[in-house]
């Protein structure tokens, strides 16, 4: 059975191609259409044209989802410059590091991983 991971999907649409192929009156509506579809598939908007899955998915799940995306929006194939998927590993929110007025607590458990083959800690 294939392992499942949280996924990040990022894409770049060509605005000139959107103007030519998007069926709506305003090609910018395409981004809202995509956002709604991503939300229905349990993806959260991260930034720009980047989304992260709210649940763990397999590669096969992503392929199925891309098939549905192409069926739902037949114009997308002509308009996308690039779309990629990334498996998300551990994420660490660094936002608090930008607030210099707050005391910062750093979780050092991830800084030094023990190398079990040598019995030593890496990074020291």
pLDDT digits (tens, 9 = 90+) for 74-106: 999 999 999 999 999 887 788 888 887 656 666
Q: What pLDDT band is residue 22 in, cutting at 50, 70 and 90?
A: very high
Domain ranges, ordered by start, for the chain:
6-88
Q: CATH topology for 6-88? A: Alpha-Beta Plaits (3.30.70)
Q: Which two tokens stand for residue 59?
A: 């590669």
Alpha helix ranges (H) inside the chain: 15-21, 29-40, 59-72, 76-79
Tell me, what's the pLDDT at 2? 85
Tell me, what's the pLDDT at 27? 94
Which element (helix H / strand E) includes 88?
Answer: strand 80-88
pTM above 0.75, yes or no: no
Q: What pLDDT band is residue 124 in, cutting at 50, 70 and 90?
A: very low
Q: Is 3 helix (H, G, I), strand (E, B) or coil?
A: coil
pLDDT tens figures, 26-71? 999 999 999 999 999 999 999 999 999 999 999 999 999 999 999 9
On the CB side of 34, CA atoms within 13 Å amount to 25
Tell me, what's the pLDDT at 114? 59
Whether the pLDDT of residue 123 is over 90: the answer is no
Q: Which two tokens stand for residue 113?
A: 């991983």
Pairing assessment for the beta strands 114-115 and 50-53 based on DSSP bridges = unpaired
């Amino acid at each position: 059975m294939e392992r499942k991971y949280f996924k990040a999907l990022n894409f770049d649409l060509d605005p000139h191609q959107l103007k030519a192929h998007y069926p709506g009156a305003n090609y910018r509506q395409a981004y809202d259409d995509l956002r709604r579809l991503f939300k229905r598939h349990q993806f959260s908007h991260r930034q720009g044209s980047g989304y992260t899955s709210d649940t763990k998915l397999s590669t096969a799940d992503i392929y199925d989802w891309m098939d549905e995306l192409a069926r739902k929006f037949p114009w997308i194939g002509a308009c996308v410059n690039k779309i990629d998927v990334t498996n998300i590993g551990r994420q660490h929110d660094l936002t608090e590091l930008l607030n210099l007025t707050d005391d910062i607590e750093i979780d050092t458990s991830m800084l030094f991983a023990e190398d079990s083959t040598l019995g030593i800690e890496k990074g020291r």
